[in-house]
Amino acid sequence: MNAYPPIADHGLVGDLQTAALVAADGTLDWWCTPRFDSPSVFASLLDSDRGGHCRLAADLGEADEVGVRQLYLTDTAVLVTRFMAPGGVGEVVDFMEPDASTTPSTRHRLIRVARVVRGSLPFELLCRPRFDYGRAAHTLRHLDDGSVVFHGPDTDLHVQATAPIALHPDGHDVSARFTLDAGELAAVVLTSDSGDAATRGERLGGPPPTVESITAAFDACRAFWLSWLRASRYRGRWQEMVTRSAITLKLLTYAPTGAPIAAATMGLPEQIGGERNWDYRYTWIRDASLSVHALSTLGFTRDANAYRRWLRERLDAGWTASGEPLQIMYRVDGEPHLTEEVLDHLEGYRRSAPVRAGNAAADQIQLDIYGEAAYALAEAKDIGGVRGWKAFAAVIDWLTDHWDRPDEGIWETRGGRQNFTYSRLMTWVAFDRAIGIATAYSRPADLTRWRTARDTVFHQIIDRGWNDKRHAFVQHYDTDVVDASLLLMPRVGFLAPTDPDWLSTLDAMNDELVSDSLVYRYNPAASPDGLRGSEGTFNLCSFLYVQALARAGRLDQARYAFDKMLTYANHVGLFAEEIGPSGEQLGNFPQAFTHLALIDAAIALDEELDRAENPAR
């Protein structure tokens, strides 16, 4: 087992309420249950000694002739880790059965199947859970050779195995070694139960697994993903990458509420050994709202509408404790209280500390979220009936009096509030889309006041967000530094994608933020953000750059940048948040923002290439 495999050396499996990472060597090193934002059961990704893991892999030692390859079954979230050796070829298949219901579940099953397709291979199983981020002790109950229960403080983990696997206690953990010949398979089923403590022991994990029941679960999982993908309308040039990104967005969405999370993990560093280690297992208004466009364009309108319902519920919930109508992020069930704590008992990924659980940025003021919320709602024909409109209109009325304030900005800087140009841009979007909805659907609104606010914001951005020295729109009103967030300017309709001022801004970004087609979000050295260290290029921004280039008619440059970015995907098509100086993936993984931007970039590039190749159409 590699103590800290590269962040990119993982695949993702999930059941639409929780998700797990499996490293390319067969180690399950991240799983939080019963929800994405629950404490971990396995977290060796953040501490190889104290975090806990479950390894199921061919037991072939360090032989040089052993090959390992990880892949997804086409158009599914079924992950296969293949082991190839002179003595045989075997694989471990990992999957979770999707549960698309609107009822939260306290029980979740992760199924691991070992099988050999040629020759004969020995396998090793090591199951070492560590509950509550490795803080809580557990007890082991050995039921029989094929069944054990790990009892944690709030969660039990029932491990069941089929023959020839025999589970042997190893202190408070279990292990097994077994050999399979061609055509044979064995399964390990991990069932977490976080229900009522008084009845957990009675339920356990259900009847013992059989080859037939495992095969049926596999078939059901595969059928779910194939059925879900039938809604996709994408027929463009990058089918495989767009499909993988869509599946990833679905895996990162909490089915009971329709709320997407930003990433499956917490604490993975933006700089190895640095302090930029955040918890991304929550729903950001910004990220989730922008994903609506990607999902809707692909044809997944049911998923997009589920998030809109969740968003409308946040509007209906009334003002937050800070006095704002919305806060920047919530838990997946809509709970607004997110405390941040440092887990100082965890070493951190490759000694990147502190490891944080929770996110204090939830208390920040970020005015752009009102624009992104309006952007998402404006794409729907109905934003929640009369009551939904009243709640939305009340927010816009409030915004007319509160838009002209400094805030922390889109990147959640911790160096003090500024008059960020992007924040102003998105308040313009809020007013513009609200006016459009009210006009299109004859909704009651103070249109005169809204139009005045919209136009005032527009003139302020033109007058104060533009820097004559740089010939560009800049990060905030008191700097000459450019910021990649403004790549959204033409997409939201503030400027045409070929406007001379926009093209000049694009050129300034190219000079300051672009490194071989990869894009930094801003320059921390020139614009301090209150944090030590540096970071890599930001994958979201790199894909936004592709989209902006394509819409500006710079197709050769756009296609080169897009093709170059795709080479940084990991072996199964997943992206983390950033790309480091040596081409390594950094930050939480996989990141929804990156994958939704990949989809939008592919669609924009397809459209512009089609237009260039068929100008008469």
In SS3 terms, 150-172 reads as EECCCCEEEEEECCCCCCEEECC
Question: Looking at residues 171-191, what average pLDDT do you find?
Answer: 97
Q: How far apart are CA 51 and CA 32, in angstroms?
A: 11
Task: Give residue 178's pLDDT band: very low, low, confident or very high (50, 70, 90).
Answer: very high
Helices (H) and strands (E) in the chain, counts: 14, 28
Q: Are 257 and 139 in the same domain?
A: no
Q: How far apart are CA 575 and CA 596, in angstroms?
A: 11
**Cβ count near 191 (within 10 Å):** 21
Helix, strand or coil, per DSSP, at residue 315: helix
Quote the pLDDT of residue 412. Answer: 79
Q: Are 397 and 419 in the same domain?
A: yes
**Cβ count near 460 (within 10 Å):** 18
Question: Looking at residues 308-322, what average pLDDT do you find?
Answer: 87
Q: Are 206 and 247 in the same domain?
A: no
Q: Are 109 and 194 in the same domain?
A: yes
Q: Are 376 and 504 in the same domain?
A: yes
Q: Last residue of a domain, which of 192, 211, 228?
A: 228
What pLDDT digit, counting tens, does each position of 113-127 carry?
999 999 999 999 999
Task: Give residue 322's pLDDT band: very low, low, confident or very high (50, 70, 90).
Answer: confident
493: containing domain: 231-613
Q: Are 159 and 286 in the same domain?
A: no
Which residue matches tokens 């095969």?
215
Q: Last residue of a domain, which of 228, 248, 277?
A: 228
Quote the pLDDT of residue 202. Answer: 58
Residue 140 has pLDDT above 80, yes or no: yes
DSSP string of 537-568? EEHHHHHHHHHHHHHTT-HHHHHHHHHHHHTT
Structure tokens at 374: 């309006």
What pLDDT digit, counting tens, does each position of 490-532 carry?
999 999 999 999 999 999 999 999 998 999 998 866 655 555 5
| Domain-embedded: residue 479 | yes
Q: Are 218 and 240 in the same domain?
A: no
Indicate the number of domains in the chain. Answer: 2
Quote the pLDDT of residue 385. Answer: 84
Question: Looking at residues 321-337, what average pLDDT do you find?
Answer: 91
Q: Are 23 and 48 in the same domain?
A: yes
Structure tokens at 212: 């037939």
Residue 413 has pLDDT above 80, yes or no: no
| Domain-embedded: residue 199 | yes
Quote the pLDDT of residue 532. Answer: 57
Helix, strand or coil, per DSSP, at residue 293: helix
Q: How far apart are CA 314 and CA 401, in angstroms?
A: 21
Q: Are 171 and 238 in the same domain?
A: no
Quote the pLDDT of residue 199. Answer: 65
Quote the pLDDT of residue 105. Answer: 95
Structure tokens at 263: 């990433």
Quote the pLDDT of residue 534. Answer: 64
Quote the pLDDT of residue 601. Answer: 98
Quote the pLDDT of residue 130. Answer: 98
**What does each C-alpha distance from 284 to 18, 276, 355, 410, 412 come to in angstroms?**
17, 18, 20, 11, 12
| Residues 294 and 365: beta-carbon distance below 8 Å | no
What pLDDT digit, counting tens, does each position of 463-496 carry?
999 999 999 999 999 999 999 999 999 999 999 9
Residue 586 has pLDDT above 60, yes or no: yes
**Residues facing 341 on adjacent strands:** 357
Q: Last residue of a domain, which of 208, 228, 248?
A: 228
Question: Looking at residues 295-315, what average pLDDT do you find?
Answer: 94
What pLDDT digit, counting tens, does each position of 342-377 carry?
999 999 999 999 999 999 888 899 999 999 999 999
**What does each C-alpha distance from 556 to 513, 602, 605, 608 come to in angstroms?**
19, 14, 10, 11
Q: Are 548 and 417 in the same domain?
A: yes
CATH number of the domain encompassing residue 311 = 1.50.10.10
| Domain-embedded: residue 134 | yes
What pLDDT digit, counting tens, does each position of 217-274 carry?
999 999 999 999 999 999 999 999 999 999 999 999 999 999 999 999 999 999 999 8
Quote the pLDDT of residue 85. Answer: 92
**Residues facing 470 on adjacent strands:** none
Residue 206 has pLDDT above 70, yes or no: yes
Quote the pLDDT of residue 381. Answer: 66
| Domain-embedded: residue 84 | yes
Q: Are 187 and 256 in the same domain?
A: no
Quote the pLDDT of residue 203. Answer: 59
Q: Are 377 and 516 in the same domain?
A: yes
CATH number of the domain encompassing residue 24 = 2.70.98
Which residue matches tokens 């009651």?
444
| Domain-embedded: residue 5 | no
| Domain-embedded: residue 1 | no
What's the whole-model pTM score?
Answer: 0.96
